[in-house]
Amino acid sequence: MTTRRITFLDQGTIPDNIRWPDPDFEHEWTGWHHTSAGQTVERAAGSHILITNKVVVDDSVLAACPDLELVQVSATGVNNVDLEACRQRGIHACNVKGYASNAVPEWVVAHLFALTWRQPHYRQVQTEGRWAESDFFMLRTAPVRELRTMHVGILGQGDIGRSVADRLAAFGTRVEFLERPGTPKPRSGYVDFDITLPRLDALILCCPLTEDNAEMVDAGLLARMKEGALLLNPSRGGLVQEQDLAAAITSGHLGGAALDVVSREPITTDNPLFALRAHENLIVTPHIAWSTDEAITGLMAQLIDNLNRFVAGERTHCLV
């Protein structure tokens, strides 16, 4: 029986407290905490199964792995893997799906609450001790509002988008799914993006990043949003032109933004949003929306199941 060598290039993306079952087949597992671009070929060499979250697996990596059978991405997005090169070399590729369908929607609702209830502002008020100086029993220094009065647009009607909508519906929020910008006629269940955008109190991005929508949230789009509207992005940082977003927040046109992603991660000190990290109308979390213990446990269970099915001869779950 062949002992398959499994290499996890960035196992440090899985917290130490998460446990997962061993694969059912004979194997040797090597987990690297972090792998830089210059280390990938050396560490991948000799692998039968290569696991990656964000480490790039391109044709040069594949070429160095003559025994490679499967590239397993420990995420849904596979833009870090050259799928066409996999196809040409007869190497299969899999991802994991649906594991964050509760975690990400909860992040969205939590941060919509944080923005509407001005949590960063009132945290600062409390930190400064200003409540203790109030003439009254309360201190209302910024307006707050209820979700039931809001009109929210969601771009993306996948599992996460629908789950966000279901949760907001429980609060009485008016929720609509937006058709892709520039689409002449909205599909059933969608509304026209350009007509609806100026009416929204909040825009939530729940869509993948593609060549067509890269930096779609730019100065022009932001200018068409209602003054004081909110932007939430738990999806991909590349959807947003960050300099334009920083300008919209600084000017006060945008009422607030909550982001779990930026264009280059980890965030760099020259990112315009980094300079606004203490701004009371901006919340940036370090790409954690997917990472509840429950979600990561489910991710790893699905990943191991993918490996077991692949070694057993199944291919229906493979992208390539």
User: Which residues are catalytic, by number?
Assistant: 236, 265, 287
Residue 86 to residues 11, 57, 61, 81, 96, Cα–Cα distance (Å): 22, 10, 10, 8, 17
Q: Report which residue type is found at 314.
A: E
Residue tagged 């964050």 (tokens)? 100
> What length is written for the chain?
320
Contact assessment for residue 294 and residue 302, using Cβ atoms and an 8 Å cutoff: no
